[in-house]
Structure 1
Amino acid sequence: MKALFFEAFQAPVRVTELPDPEPTADGVVIQVAAAGLCRSDWHGWMGHDSDVHLPHVPGHEFAGTIAALGKNVKNWQIGDRVTLPFSMGCGSCPQCRTGNQQICDDYYQPGFTGMGCFAEYVAVPYAEQNLVRLPDKLGFNAAAVLGCRFITAYRGIAVQGRLQGGDWVAVHACGGVGLSAIQIAKALGGRVVAVDIATDKLELAKKLGADRVLNASEIDQIPEAIREITGGGAQVSVDALGSTVTCINSIACLAKRGRHIQIGLMTGTHRTPAVPMGPVIAKELEIIGSHGMQAHAYPGMLQLITSGRINPKALLGQSISLEEAAAALMKMDDHDALGVTVIDRFR
């Protein structure tokens, strides 16, 4: 099979021929129809994630059809259209037994703990616990958006953020996570302030339902601007990027008893930001992480999609080939494309 491949961190990524994978006893092989190009893949290539071992095939967000079954897989068939969460639960650890497969003690992540989906085929274990059947009306490209950014935003807003109708939601950064959060917050009855430094991203945020947009390159005090718009602060605020500035702005813009949701990965010099604990105490704020979503929680999100209340297809940006993805992955830190870039041509 053809796959993107690198043998050292920050070394050139290239397309190469690798052996077709075989399924584990509890796993399947999926023929990849579409794969999302995510900033997390760039972090893996840079060497920011200790789960990545060399040599490596990146990619963790995808949809496709089952091409081969492990001997212990009973509830799936070759040809089934599927996707899956990027963090796959083992099904037997204490976290999985309480329904929290997204923080499994023995998790498997394609593109991180194992070979990823930037390839014609990808093998994944734990199939019974993690595969999600795709609705017929949901195409592969749109489905590829779900497995990381969309599900993380959905759980972050709906579950961790406990959004109520009428709540103000501040979304800091309008990449894939941020744009997903805007759609989801609006579908659940929220009012949204979107923040970014790129005019084109803010325009897309408005099209997806943001009530107000703020250009952080033109406004010195984003938290103050949000508090003014919302009449005292947002009830829920999301750092969808993972930088010291967006994290602190997200906390500082909250109303009393507001909830900060950290979705963007904090790496490098941003790994340990100085959290303003004074306001956290005085305002009884909540600081909450959100890491993916369990396969068993997909039905609620899929119902919103099939009913037309949210539309992951609206997040799609460029559609590229596997060859083009090699260059796109290496450029992600200095060229952030509008919308979600999807690889859908593998030959």
Structure 2
Amino acid sequence: MQGELNNQLKIEKTTSPRVKPDYDKLGFGIHLTDHMFTMDFESGKGWHDAKIVPYGPIPMDPAAKVFHYGQTIFEGMKAYTGPDGSIRLFRPEKNFERFNRSCRRMNIPEVDAAFVLEALKELVRIDREWVPAEPGMSLYIRPFVIATEPQLGATPSLSYKMMIILSPVGAYYEEGLNPVRIHVETRDVRAVVGGVGEAKTAGNYAASMQAQENAHAAGYSQVLWLDGVHRRYVEEVGSMNVFFRIGDKVVTPALSGSILQGITRDSVIHLLRDLDIEVEERPITIDELCGYAEDGTLLEAFGTGTAAVISPIGEIGWNGRSYSIGGGQTGEWTQRLYDELTSLQRGDSEDRFGWTQTIVGAEAARG
């Protein structure tokens, strides 16, 4: 693969490095690194012209179809610096599997996942000085595709651009792993089976912002989404998958075609089963959930996703009532899962699942 990469990937390094930010004030997705990956697609020619170039603006025609018909998909993943200085990725092959699933749903040509992953590794190696070494920090990786054909007909684009950009990000929780209050959305709909809810496409996130702002205005941090048909079944929390500890087992909504197949979700399920904790993937109604909260059976709840890893939930607001979970405290299992996952991602503990890929060894990182 390395020989193929050298033949297909052009590299142009910057002569004007960007000023690195103060890592104490990183925020999320604010600062971008020195380089980016780009690759183009044309009908009849396929994907071509793969290159790593200095980060910067790209020319876009105002008639490009991404602006008018929303043909675009993306991924979110991270690179981590381990205690020995090595840099690793966490289950990146799963991200590119999902990347191509999203492409298929949005009628975008699939990419060669193996080639793109190797190109990503090379991009991170080039910008390795941007990968934070501080605990809780990481390098956020955003691969995406946009439709670029300059034509206003409502048909699939005949040309596309894929890019990967990188951003050093700070710890998601500045003051620790604190539970959030979530509001059950009863008016807006996030997705329906047969729609694009299981694809990582921009429209899903744009459609969720009104409900998110309304929840914030009511004093909540996140939205708990219900299904779009019956308006009873729990689906996701914000842009994360959601889990509930009910007694001595964990329940998470089954993947129904309208729920994103989260990489962190899958990792949490593996971890729980490795710990001999029963996991049920099944439909769960909001009535059932709040009933468990009332009788004290709902002991913990949390969301999972790349950005936060684990986000504990301490309270649910539904139909004018509030339901406390675990006394509003971070639960034992929630904390353990967060510790286990972040330890695996950084390389602080043995990777017994074979989930991480080292892309810059300790000696190379020090050099």
After TM superposition, the score normalised by the length of structure 2 is: 0.29
